[in-house]
A and B are shown apart, each in its own frame.
Chain A
């Protein structure tokens, strides 16, 4: 698999934190995730689900099988992987939403949204929209949410990735999700 070597190489190349490193990595990681997801979807039985967490971790393991394992690289990788998963999930949700509503995208709002009944797809779209706003307010919070919500990373992993104390991360995450939830509720 030629990409593996290439991604490892890119990871090494951007070992020192470089502006835009994650963006450079994105297409490579995306290709890998896409490949994995497609392969799984083709083979799994209907009704079973693919966890992004599993996908991202599997991609990571494949990439570092005999490569570099420094956390620095891992941070870049997870950043890119979570962003890639986000795009995969959004497109999928939009696609399904279009099928369901016969075209035009319908806005969901929290009034007629019983939380228990919110489908994962609705959630994805709502969160994505709110995130765009959060990014303006506080880019670091946005990164945390992307890693958490789309990348499926654990708090410990995110803390390590972003070089934050775990306690700080827990508090940031608590604020971020409350903020998002409030924002979603306000968008009537």
Chain B
């Protein structure tokens, strides 16, 4: 029957056009010839066509409202729509809607999330046989960093969890698109457009690298091209998933699970082939990007995937780790004519031009990514993208050490018109010497440009590297690997401060503090102050004064403390801020001269006004803020020599309903200081003792970071500094 339809249809539609029965019959004689079965069927169809027309007259049968069962019918229809969804239609808070794909790793579904926002997501269920708990733990470790990623070309990873049957799953932004290689081939995308797409991928990867995320599994099926307002845009998916599902590459797992999980070994860098599998960094992704570039250019991977899989484990490893891949242009020349023509056609270019276009810059760029030694690859994805951009602008690329001839060649291409004109003139005039002089000048110009470009690249690379280091340091500190983070940070210039850097410096400073290394702590907090200065967040900056000031004093760097507090006054003496009390406290830890005290006049007034306003307001926060402000005023008045006022402020501070051990002891110590100054020695001793006891208790456990309620380390160090002052006064009192 199936072979009958095309002929039957052809004959039928022609015959139907013929209204006259006799002519129609003649036509059928002719058309069917001896095929009587065909004739019979066509005649039957023609006979039925009137009734058929009636039967189908009312197309699209109407839906009658039957309120009672409408909902039921619709739900039934809905479930008929989803034949592929497993019995459990919900996984966690996600409702499965439709299967999107399947692979060695597991299955991907389109799912709907109801809370906290209603949206559609992609849900990837990892196949059985993975250690769910570890997978999720690894994901959790990276979750914070993943959350920092925000790039239009990166699909966000939103969540991870375990299904009821204990399989790990990941929830990702839903991306509709095609594999980048398929997209390019299906649409016969030109070389330039391929390179432009690739650069977007590089920029996305760079963004992730800056957040400290390595993809580890970049390959075409993880890079989808979607249409955005009619413009193709790549989206990198699965960030963080390779890391979470990482399995150690052993001989046993290589082919059973790893190859399945990771898909193709073609995209794996030599260091990923190493058995340890631990020593990965962003440059592994650069390698994979190189393979992608190679494939976009030539339609092939540097090493053939099927060939690789045929090799034994050792052989495979040796190939990837030792054999130099052919350059893209050389690879094309190994193809037979038909393949080459097909490859070229898919790129809208003639075969010879494709080879010559790859030859040179693009060869070098691809090979630089594929270097076995990762230090010889591009240091950053940005660097790679920029080199391609240079290629597209016909500027000198960095992938090859520039030689004179090479640069001249570039220059000629960029200024082709000038050169043709120049060459003609030169030929006509036969002035060889002038030509060479002129070429020399031009060459120098080219050299200068190439060098400027190189310098810029170097600077960008430095910047990118330090950003990367900061990010890595941030991750390290979040995992409490302070030593490594501290070492990393030592190498970074403070050129471009970032909030990340601020956090890292603070954490490292505190790490030194709790280990009693005051000098190092002072250095880190000093650098932190530099960063704060540029980020200009007053709250953070003044809070960090309370770290830097005490650290300098404890490290014995008293001149450093003097410089610090004069700097604070220079910066803030004329500013009214909510944080004036912190400025007072941090700069009055040691006695100060009259001039200095006068510079603090304004801050004192501001704080006093704050306390007055708060006390009148009777707000709940008063007990907290008002107490601290009173304490700062007590210290100020004490330094001014107004002991009565200082005593009053201490009592005011202690009078608030909220009692904080660190604040109360500091108030006691200031009281003690005032008593000594006014020769009330026994009261002084009692107050000092009260304060001192609490300090002792606190430091019994060594220095701990602390919190708001128990006091931070610096609250207690401030108390300790004042207690030392008590000690001096008590000694003086003893002498009297």
CA distance A15 to B177 in the complex (A): 10
B52 within 8 A of A: yes
A167-188 interface with B by 8 A CB criterion: 171-172, 174-175, 177-182, 185
Distance in angstroms between the alpha carbons of A37 and B65 in the assembled complex: 9
Q: Which residues of A contact B120 (CB under 8 A)?
A: 6
The answer to whether B65 and A50 have CB atoms under 8 Å apart is: yes
Residues of B within 8 A of A62 (CB): none
Contact of A15 with B227 at beta-carbon distance under 8 Å, contacts A44-B65, A46-B65 already known: yes
A137 interface residue (CB < 8 Å to B) = yes
A38: contacting residue among B48, B71, B228, CB under 8 A: B71
Q: Do B60 and A87 touch (CB < 8 A)?
A: no
Instruction: Report the minimum CB–CB distance from B505 to chain A (whole Å).
Output: 42
Smallest Cβ-Cβ distance to B49: which chain A residue: A178
Say which residue of A16, A37, A93 sits within 8 Å of B74 (CB atoms). Answer: A37
Q: Is there contact, CB below 8 Å, between B56 and A149?
A: yes
A27-B110, A91-B76 given; A37·B61 CB < 8 A:
no
Type the 1/0 row for B213-241, where 1 means its CB is closer than 8 Å to any CB of A: 00000000000001111100000000000
Quick one: which of A23, A34, A55 contacts B78, CB cutoff 8 A?
A34
Q: A85-B60, A175-B12 are in contact. Are A30 and B229 (CB under 8 A)?
A: no
Contact flag A120-B52 (CB < 8 Å), given A10-B176, A12-B227, A95-B72 = no
How near does chain A come to B74, taking the closest CB pair, in angstroms? 5
Q: Which listed residue (A38, A118, A151) contacts B70, Cβ 8 A? A: A38
Chain A residues with Cβ below 8 Å from B119 are 2
Q: Say yes or no for A150: interface residue by CB 8 A criterion.
A: yes
Known: A2-B118, A177-B53. A91 touches B80 (CB 8 A): yes
Considering the chains assembled together, what is the distance between the CA atoms of A2 and B120 in angstroms? 10
Q: How far does the alpha carbon of A10 sit from the alpha carbon of B44 in the complex, in Å?
A: 45
Q: How far is the CA of A151 from the CA of B118 in the complex (A)?
A: 29
Choose one: A27, A137, A138; the contact of B97 (CB below 8 Å): A27
Residues on A with C-beta less than 8 A from B49 are 174, 177-178, 181
Q: Is the CB of A13 within 8 A of B177?
A: yes
Tell whether A177 pairs with B52 under 8 Å between CB atoms, given A12-B228, A85-B60: yes
Q: Given B46, B63, B226, which contacts A89 in the complex, CB threshold below 8 Å?
A: B63
Q: Which of A101-159 contact B (CB under 8 A)?
A: 115, 118, 120-121, 123-124, 136-138, 148-152
Q: Does A40 contact B (CB under 8 A)?
A: yes
Within 8 A of A (CB), among B53-94: 53-56, 58-67, 69-74, 76-78, 80-82
Q: Determine if A69 is an interface residue (Cβ-Cβ < 8 Å).
A: no
Roughly how many angstroms separate A123 CA and B2 CA in the complex, as a whole number?
25
Whether B62 pairs with A120 at a CB distance below 8 angstroms is yes
Tell me the chain B residues, 151-187 only, with Cβ under 8 Å from chain A: 176-178, 186-187
In the bound complex, residues from chain B placing their C-beta under 8 Å from that of A37 are: 63, 70, 74
Residues in B neighbouring A136, C-beta threshold 8 A: 2
Once bound together, how far apart are the Cα atoms of A83 and B60, in whole Å? 12
* B46, chain A: closest CB distance, angstroms: 8
Closest to B1 in A: A137
Verify B59–A88 contact, CB threshold 8 A: no
Name A91's contact: one of B45, B46, B77 (CB within 8 Å).
B77
Interface contact A181-B9, CB-CB below 8 Å: no
Closest to B100 in A: A24
Cβ of A14 under 8 Å from chain B: yes
* Contact A34 B59, CB 8 Å, known A13-B177, A50-B65, A175-B12: no
**A92: Cβ under 8 A from any B Cβ:** yes
Q: What is the CA–CA distance of A17 and B53 in the complex, to the nearest angstrom?
A: 32
- Indicate the member of A40, A88, A94, A175 with the most B CB atoms within 10 Å: A175
Q: In the complex, are the beta carbons of B230 and A15 less than 8 A apart?
A: yes
Which chain A residues lie closer than 8 Å to B69 at the CB level? 95
A136 closest partner in B (C-beta): B2
Cβ–Cβ contact B177 & A87, under 8 A: no
Asked whether A180 and B52 contact (CB < 8 A) given A16-B227, A171-B13, the answer is: yes
| B98 in contact with A27 (CB, 8 Å) | yes
Of B62, B77, B98, B100, which contacts A51 at CB under 8 A? B62
Q: A178 with B48: in contact, given A12-B230, A13-B176 (CB under 8 Å)?
A: yes
Q: Counting CB contacts under 8 A, is A75 at the interface? A: no
A137 touches B59 (CB 8 A): no
Determine if A174 and B81 form an interchain contact, defined as CB atoms under 8 angstroms apart: no
Is B56 a contact of A115 with CB atoms below 8 Å? no
* B51 beta carbon closer than 8 Å to chain A: yes
A118→B58 CA distance, assembly (Å): 12
List residues of chain B with CB within 8 A of the CB of A178: 12, 45-46, 48-49, 52
Q: Is A164 positioned at the interface, with any CB of B under 8 Å from its CB?
A: no
- Among B59, B60, B64, chain A packs the most CB atoms within 10 A around the CB of B60
Are A88 and B230 within 8 A (Cβ)? no
> What is the distance, in angstroms, from A170's C-beta to the closest C-beta of chain B?
9
Could you mark each residue 27-43 of chain A with 1 if its beta carbon is under 8 Å from any beta carbon of chain B, else 0?
Answer: 10010001001101110
Known: A34-B74, A91-B73, A95-B69. A175 touches B45 (CB 8 A): yes
- Within B336-355, the residues touching A (CB, 8 Å) are none
Q: How far is the CA of A88 from the CA of B79 in the complex (A)?
A: 11
Residue numbers in A under 8 Å from B226 (CB-CB): 13
Residue of B73, B100, B118, B226 most packed against chain A (CB within 10 A)? B73
- In angstroms, Cα B70 to Cα A88, docked, is 10
How far apart sit A174 and B110, CA to CA, in the bound complex (Å)?
Answer: 39
Contact A53 B60 (CB under 8 A): yes
Residue of A nearest to B44 (CB): A182
Chain B residues within 8 Å of A66, by CB: none
Q: For residue B17, which residues in chain A have a CB less than 8 angstroms away from its CB?
A: 171
Minimum CB–CB distance for B207 against chain A, Å = 22
Residue of A whose beta carbon sits closest to that of B98: A27
| B5 CB–A CB distance under 8 Å | yes
B16 within 8 A of A: yes
Residues of A within 8 A of B177 (CB): 13
Q: Let me know if B9 and A177 touch, CB within 8 A.
A: no
Contact residue among B48, B60, B66 (Cβ-Cβ distance under 8 Å from A149): B60
Taking the closest CB of chain A, its distance from the CB of B20, in whole angstroms, is 18
CB distance from A56 to the nearest CB of B (A): 8
Question: Does A90 sit at the interface, judged by CB under 8 A?
Answer: yes
Given A24-B176, A91-B73, A177-B55, decide whether A121 and B61 contact each other with a Cβ distance below 8 A: yes
Which residues of the partner chain A approach B54 to less than 8 Å between Cβ atoms? 115
Contact partners of B176 in chain A: CB under 8 A:
9-10, 13-14, 24
Q: Is the CB of B73 within 8 A of A138?
A: no
In the assembly, what is the distance between CA of A46 and CA of B43, in Å? 45
Q: Pick from A10, A23, A38, A174 the residue with the most CB of B within 10 Å.
A: A174
In the assembled complex, the CB of B176 is this many whole angstroms from the nearest CB of chain A, namely 4
The CA of A133 and the CA of B71, in the complex, are separated in Å by 30
Question: Is B71 in contact with A48, judged by CB distance below 8 angstroms?
Answer: no
Q: Which of A89, A149, A179 has the most CB of B within 10 A?
A: A179
B16 surroundings in chain A (CB, below 8 A) = 171, 174-175
- When distances are taken between beta carbons in the complex, the residues of chain B under 8 Å from A44 are 65
User: Are B70 and A177 in contact, CB atoms less than 8 angstroms apart?
Assistant: no
Task: Tell me the minimal C-beta distance from A142 to chain B in angstroms.
Answer: 12
Enumerate 6 A-B pairs (CB-CB under 8 Å) in ascending A order.
A13-B227, A24-B98, A27-B97, A37-B63, A50-B65, A93-B61
User: 19 other contacts beyond A93-B61, A95-B72, with CB at 8 A cut-off?
Assistant: A10-B176, A12-B227, A13-B177, A15-B227, A16-B186, A24-B98, A30-B78, A34-B77, A42-B70, A51-B62, A52-B60, A52-B61, A91-B80, A95-B76, A152-B59, A171-B16, A177-B56, A179-B45, A180-B56
Residues of A within 8 A of B (CB): 2, 6, 9-10, 12-16, 18, 23-24, 26-27, 30, 34, 37-38, 40-42, 44-53, 55, 84-85, 87-95, 115, 118, 120-121, 123-124, 136-138, 148-152, 171-172, 174-175, 177-182, 185
Closest 5 CB pairs of A and B: A152-B60, A91-B77, A120-B61, A49-B62, A181-B52
